[in-house]
Chain A
């Protein structure tokens, strides 16, 4: 049961989806849609496992105070703070979730402002929704502005058509006085700005810097390890050099001046390397991988390959 049931499920699903490809009937398409939707739903829970495992590993290190345990505190703090900010800001804006603040200027439309409402008219607000918590900003001709907070979610389509006219209920204007009717306004949809600030100033620099360190190690490896010891190593080195020189614009420029009869030679050589010998070996690898994947798929479907079942099977 513990082995038979999973193998049976794998066999049935594998054969079903394999046959589905050849059957254009609407029921077959519906099966395809359903199975893919289910795989997406199942995938959500698999993600939870991954994060849960990370939390467990680092929590255990902190509890047992193993070597370098303070760094595990850093991991957990980073996770909790980032996720926490994301949840708070995402829940605050159910319509737009984790997107940043959007400020949309409408300088060709018109607005009619009153004490408790504002009516805005512009082609750009066709079909647009103003959410509770959004701001409508009225721009004065000589500079400056006044704002009002939208108190009830309203959409252009609420009146049965998307004509670009929206009347929103608003809280008090600044200084309590509604502005004169005019032609320049902006709609500001506040967003998950702190969450995106963390992404911009923590995630991006850390991720991009981590990989940029490899540039130094590539240069070091080029010096220490790249030796033309034999024919094969020489071919590798020569090929790499032709590609590198073919991507070096000053070299191509100087080449064109020194040898004007064949100005495109470095680019042509680079392209030839990529489009002929490289193509040959990549095609061979792709054929091998493709055939291997198909063979492995059948082994998994028919239960010959069972390593995915884990131990104790």
Chain B
């Protein structure tokens, strides 16, 4: 028995194998459970829900493939909610590897059954219901310039069409006409949006972030500088739950649960071993 514990302790590949099995089996046999909603996600949902048809919402993509597992479902859920409410959706990517992911999310939601017209195509029309600015260099500098004058700075959308000719951009000059910015982030962009977007121009900001960044956003959420926070993959599942459209995140959260339980078990097991060793060392050394 001691040899087995010794092996487990020294060769971490055993733990890797256990983690792999714990992920693969639930993925093959998904058992969905209800997803309770946290206060932060509910705040984001309520903010979006409070907007009126025709209001403009700017979705900012600041993530990449290394975070798409958590953030992409957030993007699709929020987009779906925005289109359902008849909002004008503007999208911009702050990083080059975010642009195709943002375009993919737009295509998936716009072409989904929910928005299909009688003739078979989508009833959402690019240029009329939504516009994609694509990727623009600049990060926080870009935010400062957008806040001054969007059509003058960006000029054309991702198709090369002039913004001032698009119905969706009617009356939109800068952040004064943007009801809400939702930033989907894997890095520092929530700070840029709060400091430059809200600090300079007073635009309302909500964020969807990866799990790593969730705990860092709470000062902004508590002070009202953020109107909502969708935290990680579970946050995405909560939002899907709120809009009654369970999808990718809800499915993944079921698998996540088993790995969570494994991690808890590993922590408890490791500590049991540790305290046993401590006690054995103390008993073996009476002095």
**Do A and B have CB atoms closer than 8 angstroms in the complex?**
yes
Interface residues of A (CB under 8 A from B): 29, 32-33, 36-37, 39-40, 43-44, 47, 94-97, 99-100, 102, 105-108, 123-124, 126-129, 131, 157, 162, 189, 196, 199-200, 203-205, 207-208, 210-212, 215-216, 218-220, 222-224, 226-228, 237, 240-241, 244-245, 247-253, 264, 267, 270-271, 274-275, 278-279, 282-283, 286
Assess whether A264 is in contact with B36, with CB atoms less than 8 Å apart. Answer: yes
A96 and B35 contact, Cβ closer than 8 Å, known pairs A36-B144, A241-B264: no
> Interface segment, B48-56, B77-85, B158-166?
B158-166
B15 beta carbon closer than 8 Å to chain A: yes
Q: List 8 A-B contacts (CB under 8 A).
A: A131-B160, A204-B65, A208-B68, A216-B16, A223-B266, A223-B267, A240-B267, A251-B257
Assess whether A282 is in contact with B16, with CB atoms less than 8 Å apart. Answer: no
Distance of A252 Cα from B253 Cα, bound (Å): 13
B67-102 near A? 1/0 per residue, CB < 8 Å: 111000000000000000000000000000100100
In the assembled complex, which residues on chain A have CB atoms less than 8 Å from the CB atom of B125?
123-124
User: Could you list 12 further interchain pairs (A-B, Cβ under 8 angstroms) beyond the known A40-B137, A215-B23, A227-B274?
Assistant: A36-B145, A127-B162, A127-B166, A196-B100, A203-B65, A219-B18, A220-B15, A249-B34, A267-B36, A271-B40, A275-B222, A282-B215
Assess whether B271 is in contact with A105, with CB atoms less than 8 Å apart. Answer: no
B40 CB to closest chain A CB, in angstroms? Answer: 8
B249-277 near A? 1/0 per residue, CB < 8 Å: 00001101111111110110111001000
Distance of A245 Cα from B218 Cα, bound (Å): 20
In the assembled complex, which residues on chain A have CB atoms less than 8 Å from the CB atom of B103?
99-100
Question: Which chain B residue lies CB-closest to A210?
Answer: B66
Assess whether A267 is in contact with B253, with CB atoms less than 8 Å apart. Answer: no
In the assembled complex, which residues on chain B have CB atoms less than 8 Å from the CB atom of A228?
271, 274
B196 CB to closest chain A CB, in angstroms? Answer: 10
The 8 closest A-B pairs by CB, nearest first: A95-B160, A249-B33, A207-B65, A204-B65, A107-B119, A220-B12, A211-B66, A248-B260
In the assembled complex, which residues on chain A have CB atoms less than 8 Å from the CB atom of B274?
227-228
Assess whether A199 is in contact with B267, with CB atoms less than 8 Å apart. Answer: no
Does more than half of chain A's interface fall in helix, strand or loop, or is it mixed?
A: helix
B23-48 near A? 1/0 per residue, CB < 8 Å: 10000000101111011100000000
Assess whether A99 is in contact with B271, with CB atoms less than 8 Å apart. Answer: no
Count B-side interface residues using an 8 Å CB cutoff.
Answer: 70
B122 CB to closest chain A CB, in angstroms? Answer: 9
Assess whether A207 is in contact with B64, with CB atoms less than 8 Å apart. Answer: yes
B15 CB to closest chain A CB, in angstroms? Answer: 5
Assess whether B269 is in contact with A223, with CB atoms less than 8 Å apart. Answer: yes
Assess whether B271 is in contact with A43, with CB atoms less than 8 Å apart. Answer: no
A263 CB to closest chain B CB, in angstroms? Answer: 9
A33 and B148 contact, Cβ closer than 8 Å, known pairs A219-B262, A247-B260: yes
B138 beta carbon closer than 8 Å to chain A: yes
Question: Which chain A residue lies CB-closest to B148?
Answer: A33
In the assembled complex, which residues on chain A have CB atoms less than 8 Å from the CB atom of B145?
33, 36-37, 40
In the assembled complex, which residues on chain A have CB atoms less than 8 Å from the CB atom of B40?
271, 274
In the assembled complex, which residues on chain B have CB atoms less than 8 Å from the CB atom of A40?
137-138, 141-142, 145
Assess whether A44 is in contact with B270, with CB atoms less than 8 Å apart. Answer: no
In the assembled complex, which residues on chain A have CB atoms less than 8 Å from the CB atom of B9?
224
A128 and B161 contact, Cβ closer than 8 Å, known pairs A36-B141, A216-B15: yes
Question: Which chain A residue lies CB-closest to B142?
Answer: A40
Pick from B23, B35, B67, B148: contact of A29, CB under 8 Å: B148
B234 beta carbon closer than 8 Å to chain A: yes
In the assembled complex, which residues on chain B have CB atoms less than 8 Å from the CB atom of A43?
137-138, 141
B224 beta carbon closer than 8 Å to chain A: no
Pick from B68, B127, B162, B219: contact of A286, CB under 8 Å: B219
Pick from B141, B219, B263: contact of A39, CB under 8 Å: B141
B134 beta carbon closer than 8 Å to chain A: yes
Pick from B216, B218, B270: contact of A227, CB under 8 Å: B270
Distance of A212 Cα from B19 Cα, bound (Å): 12
In the assembled complex, which residues on chain B have CB atoms less than 8 Å from the CB atom of A216?
15-16, 19-20
B214-243 near A? 1/0 per residue, CB < 8 Å: 111011001000000000001000000000
B284 beta carbon closer than 8 Å to chain A: no
Assess whether B19 is in contact with A270, with CB atoms less than 8 Å apart. Answer: no
Pick from B159, B254, B263: contact of A222, CB under 8 Å: B263
In the assembled complex, which residues on chain B have CB atoms less than 8 Å from the CB atom of A107?
119-121
Assess whether A219 is in contact with B97, with CB atoms less than 8 Å apart. Answer: no
Assess whether A105 is in contact with B120, with CB atoms less than 8 Å apart. Answer: yes
Pick from A189, A218, A264, A279: contact of B263, CB under 8 Å: A218
A127 and B134 contact, Cβ closer than 8 Å, known pairs A96-B158, A216-B16, A220-B15: no
Assess whether B35 is in contact with A249, with CB atoms less than 8 Å apart. Answer: yes
Assess whether B219 is in contact with A283, with CB atoms less than 8 Å apart. Answer: yes
In the assembled complex, which residues on chain A have CB atoms less than 8 Å from the CB atom of B271?
226-228, 237
Assess whether B38 is in contact with A245, with CB atoms less than 8 Å apart. Answer: no
B205 CB to closest chain A CB, in angstroms? Answer: 16
Pick from B38, B64, B127, B142: contact of A270, CB under 8 Å: B38
Question: Which chain A residue lies CB-closest to B143?
Answer: A36
Assess whether B159 is in contact with A99, with CB atoms less than 8 Å apart. Answer: yes
